[in-house]
Structure 1
Amino acid sequence: MADEIELPDEVTLLWGLRETVRRGRKPSLTVADITRAAVEVADAEGLAAVSMARVAAQLGNSTMALYRYVKSKDELLLLMSDAALDGPPNLPDGQDWRTGLTLWAQGLLKMLRRHPWTAQIPISGPPVGPNNLWWFDRALRALGDTGLDEEDKVGVVMGLLTFVHGELRLSTELSKGYVENPEAFSRQYGMALTQVVDAQRFPALSKVIAAGIFEGEVRYDEEVEGEFGLGLFLDGVAAFIERRTERQGY
């Protein structure tokens, strides 16, 4: 039997294994209460509005009361990043890996877009929270019949997570930018580029401009661009699986 190790603080926090500091009156809050209130503040006012004091006010408690359960704002953000995820989509047995990963990625993007502030939370390590690990498990499961070894499966899923989080941030910030300054996305963008882009210094970009790609409004369609990017990523995964399975004699 493997020796037990002391669990990191973030694990005990996210999995409800940490003992609450008990001082004074009987505690009237839970970590779930605090997390839920923080998510409500972020959804309504943005991540910048989230602070221990603001969340305490949302709950009608003192700021110090929160510190019985959550040691810092960093811990609060960790809880929020896990709470933003509901359960992953059900991927039936026998479903091909590409369909499974497509549903998985689309479902994750849709869920995270309900809480766009998640794109602003720093990612300081691999997934450890119960909801994040639930999604991680389902993506690994989708690769079950590919012939990939376990290390390769993890690599594919981590690459897909990188795509999803990049797409989330790009779509969130570009959509916000369009609302705040639509002129930056108008045909003036293309006209400005024709004035400043030199064909010798930027030969490839000059061809794009000459082809008229930026003559109209430059809007970012998150659905279209997301599907295109996801398709390219999965094409690469398909080629990777083919190389791996040929090498292994499948």
Structure 2
Amino acid sequence: MAATTDDNGPAIPPAIESAWGLRERPPKGPRPGLTVGGIVDAAVRVADTEGLAAVSMSRVAKELGAATMALYRYVGSKDELLMLMVDAGYGPPPGPAAPEDDWRAGLTRWAWAEHDVLRQRTWLLHVPITGPPITPQQLGWLEDGLRCLDGTALAEGERMSALLLITGYVRNEATLTAQITEGSRAAGIEPGEMMPAYSRMVSRLIDPARFPSLHRVLTSGVLGQEDNPDDEFVFGLDRILDGIEALIRRRAV
């Protein structure tokens, strides 16, 4: 499928056209019941239940009871399918900040909404990011985040940078949590038991004279406590928002 071109700007790739409903469905064929949306929904179901590695055009075709080649009449490639899956996987944006919320409460809600999506659908973290958001749902998320900063003294570029900082933090925390969870389960350890086990092992390995700061952390008992990843998420998000708040105050002077 070739990209659409005109005199008003760069060519629009087929995947983006499909995401925005700008591409007409193919002429009637042997499986007229197939649609781009139905194919994407089936691919998301496979990813939700079997992981991203299980998603292929043939596996999705099997999910739909269709021939693999029939899918290519609607979705040109697996890369195109992945782009559409990410948009569908994120789902509708969380909505702008409530009238009673200030910018900080709004961005906190926005960050937690993305946090919850990525915790539920960890396969989203395995899809490579190939560029800035361009599909409808993703731009909707961006719009809602920007609206949270309406009325602040930040310049438009600073607002975009603030959202990039927050979403980068959310993705990093979600990736770290998912990898630790997968690693601990592979080792037969419940995720909440990993840090206590880690603390005991490090205590056996280090020399307090060589690692005095780490030794003080170990003796405080903080590493031996059952780890709640949400506590770490709250701490990091609050520190980022503290920094944005300091910048807003400085810009308002």
Alignment TM-score > 0.5, same fold: yes
Distance 1:132 1:32 in 2: 16
Distance 2:175 2:218 in 1: 26
Partner of 1:193: 202
Partner of 2:115: 109
2:8 to 4, 19, 30: 4
Distance 1:61 1:185 in 2: 44
Identity of aligned residues (%): 42
User: TM-score, normalising length from structure 1?
Assistant: 0.87
Partner of 1:17: 22
Instruction: Extract unaligned runs of 5+ from structure 2.
Output: 1-6
Partner of 1:60: 65
Aligned length: 243
User: TM-score, normalising length from structure 2?
Assistant: 0.86
Aligned residue for 2:45, secondary structure, equals helix
Distance 2:210 2:131 in 1: 39
Q: Structure 1 pair 208/186, CA: closer, same or farther in 2 (3 Å)?
A: closer
Distance 1:165 1:186 in 2: 21
Q: Structure 1 pair 245/200, CA: closer, same or farther in 2 (3 Å)?
A: farther
Instruction: Extract unaligned runs of 5+ from structure 1.
Output: none
Partner of 1:234: 241
Distance 1:37 1:159 in 2: 32
User: Residue deviations 1:31-51, cap 9 Å, x none?
Assistant: 101100000001111111111
Q: Is the 8 A contact 2:15 2:75 kept in 1?
A: no
Partner of 2:214: 205
Partner of 2:35: 30
Aligned residue for 1:124, secondary structure, equals coil
Q: Structure 1 pair 142/62, CA: closer, same or farther in 2 (3 Å)?
A: same
1:81 to 58, 65, 86: 86
The aligned amino acid for 1:46 is G
User: Residue deviations 1:207-241, cap 9 Å, x none?
Assistant: 32243333x3553x232222222111111111121
Aligned residue for 2:222, secondary structure, equals coil
Q: Is the 8 A contact 1:185 1:217 kept in 2?
A: no
Q: Tell me how large the CA RMSD over aligned residues is.
A: 2.4
Deviation at 1:167, TM superposition (A): 1.7
Distance 1:84 1:25 in 2: 29
